[in-house]
Structure 1
Amino acid sequence: MNLAFAFAIYFIIWWLVLFAMLPIGVRTAEEAGEKPVPGAADSAPLLPRLLPKMLATTVIASAIFAFVYAIVVHHIITLDDIPFFPRYERMQ
């Protein structure tokens, strides 16, 4: 696995994990019992706590990437192991 491919895979995993982490622990102003800020959407989070979520995203994405990296580098799962992939003859 070359560096560009590894970076691209990590980047995709990081963003997917971030979008999964964003709604965790978020409360709106109404849920927190406070007055909504004028001009803000009613569904806007009161305290989004983005920095802790980004740090947790980095840790989780790194663990997932390490797992994917081990699978790719050590050939634990190959394309031939995936049953729904079509089988093609190799050309010489």
Structure 2
Amino acid sequence: MAWTSVLAIYFLCWVFSALVMLPFGVRTHDEMGIEKIPGQADSAPANFRPGRVILRATIMATIVCGLYVSNYIYGWITLEDIDFFGAGPPGYSDPENY
């Protein structure tokens, strides 16, 4: 696998990880007992820390991307392992038909 492919996969993993990590650890003003600004949404975060989200996303993306690349190299899980509905279309498992 080319290093540019690994970089692109890491970037996709990082963005997905950042979106997954956004809601964790965030509390609203009501939960923290802080007075809200007039016109503020009830669900607005009071303690959003983007640095913590970036750090958590980087750690999670590194692990996920490392597992993906390792699986690509060593072939732990293949398409045949996750084929739950049978053998697939005719010629599916025959490498000469690709």
Distance in 2 (alpha carbons) for counterparts of 1:28 and 1:39: 14
Flag as ranges the 4+ runs of structure 1 deviating above 3 A: none
Which secondary structure does the structure 2 equivalent of 1:25 belong to?
coil
Structure 2 residue 31 is the aligned partner of structure 1 residue 25: no
Q: Where in structure 1 are there 5+ consecutive unaligned residues?
A: none
Partner of 1:86: 88
| 1:23, distance to aligned residue in structure 2 (A) | 1.1
Matches within 5 A, 1:54-73: 54-73=54-73
TM normalised by structure 2 equals: 0.77
Residues 12-31 of structure 1 show CA distances to partners (whole Å, capped at 9, x for unaligned) of 22122212211111111111
RMSD: 2.0
**One-letter code aligned to 1:7:** L
**One-letter code aligned to 2:36:** P
Which secondary structure does the structure 2 equivalent of 1:37 belong to?
coil
**One-letter code aligned to 1:33:** G
**One-letter code aligned to 2:97:** M
TM normalised by structure 1 equals: 0.81
Aligned residues: 92
Distance in 2 (alpha carbons) for counterparts of 1:72 and 1:62: 15
Q: Percent identity?
A: 36
| 1:49, distance to aligned residue in structure 2 (A) | 0.9
